[in-house]
Amino acid sequence: MEWVLRNPTRFLHERAAFERLAQEVDWLAALVWRLDAGLAVEVDLDLEIHGVTYAATLTYPDLFPETPAYIWPRDASQQWSHHQYGAGGSLCLEWRADNWDSHVTGADLVRSAHTLLATERHPDQPARVPSAHQATLGQTMRSSQHRFVCTAGGLVAFASLPVSVQRQLRTKTLLHCSTTVGFVSQIEMADGSMQDVGDLPSGIVAHLPLFAWPGDGQLLRSDAFDLRVTIASVEDLLDMIQRAGFLPQTVLVQEPGSTKYQDRLVLLLTNGVSLLQTN
């Protein structure tokens, strides 16, 4: 409750905003202010949405209002929304750490949570609220689920390739907890031989495929690849490859006897800079 002692005027402002919200809407069924075990100021609230009660808690961090408050289920096993950090995690709302404004109140966050849940949890016409996060290619490559690591040795090997060339790749992938981490382990040379990438972590080359399972990939290098174009789908990837003069069939390979396509790494190079897309 440091922020309350530091800024009691803001605390009174927060309480008044909640009181106005309770008078204005009929979906705020309960509202209880309290301190948790660590003396953080919290508000227990029940949201009545489409006949369902969502028992939530709003927590004010010690650095509020410089940092945002957050809303999460009181039952840690519940996940209500696609815009939530896992079961029991906080909701990702209109105001977050990346766009926070100190004038936003806890009551504003509750309104935002109601809008999110009323849209996504509609019994007849549920709709997915679009994400406001625009991840860059680098952020996607370093996501919590899939990561690609390009070693210095790999970069040197890529830079040595001529322009307008397509080469096969061999990959190694580690499963680290719930995250897959991929590496390029071999690169096809002009004579068709496969050259090792020499600076891979020892755990990849010293263990059986059980720990670092092998895979295939394709590397394509062309000055026609445009870094300004966003690759948002397989169709976007194939279109860029075809416009650069390569055959899409060499990248998109079906599994034998199946309509599914093989998982493989596709690495596009242009002017020494790489783009990544995984099929």
Residue pointed to by tokens 């509609």: 122
Element (H, E) at 181: strand 179-188
Q: Read off the pLDDT of residues 79-108 as tens digits, 9 standing for 90 and up.
A: 999 888 888 889 989 888 878 899 999 999
To the nearest whole number, what is the mean pLDDT of the chain?
Answer: 83
116 φ/ψ sector (left φ>0, alpha ψ -120 to 50, else beta): alpha
Q: Which amino acid is at 39?
A: L
**Is the pLDDT reported for residue 277 higher than 50?**
no
**Is the pLDDT reported for residue 213 higher than 60?**
yes
**Is the pLDDT reported for residue 65 higher than 90?**
yes
Contact in structure between 265 and 215 (CB atoms under 8 Å): yes
**Is the pLDDT reported for residue 222 higher than 70?**
yes
Q: What is the pLDDT of residue 141?
A: 55
Domain formed by 2-120, architecture: Roll (3.10)
Q: What is the pLDDT of residue 111?
A: 96
**Is the pLDDT reported for residue 262 higher than 50?**
yes
For the chain, where are the alpha helices, taking DSSP H only? 2-6, 8-24, 106-120, 137-141, 152-159, 202-205, 234-243
**Is the pLDDT reported for residue 46 higher than 70?**
yes
Q: Read off the pLDDT of residues 141-173 as tens digits, 9 standing for 90 and up.
A: 555 567 788 888 888 888 888 888 899 999 888
245 φ/ψ sector (left φ>0, alpha ψ -120 to 50, else beta): left
**Is the pLDDT reported for residue 279 higher than 50?**
no
Mean pLDDT of 251-265: 70
Percent of the chain with pLDDT over 70: 82
How far is 164 from 245, CA to CA, in rounded Å? 8
Contact in structure between 84 and 90 (CB atoms under 8 Å): yes
Residue 279: count of CB within 10 angstroms of its CB: 16
pTM of the prediction?
A: 0.51
How far is 174 from 78, CA to CA, in rounded Å? 30
Which residues, 6 or more positions from 5, have their beta carbon under 8 angstroms from its beta carbon?
A: none
- Domain locations in the chain as residue ranges: 2-120, 137-278
Contact in structure between 129 and 116 (CB atoms under 8 Å): yes
**Is the pLDDT reported for residue 134 higher than 70?**
no
Mean pLDDT of 177-195: 84
How far is 58 from 31, CA to CA, in rounded Å? 10
**Is the pLDDT reported for residue 114 higher than 90?**
yes
Q: Please, what sign has the CA dihedral across residues 86, 90, 92, 97?
A: negative
Q: What is the pLDDT of residue 278?
A: 46
Q: What is the pLDDT of residue 80?
A: 92
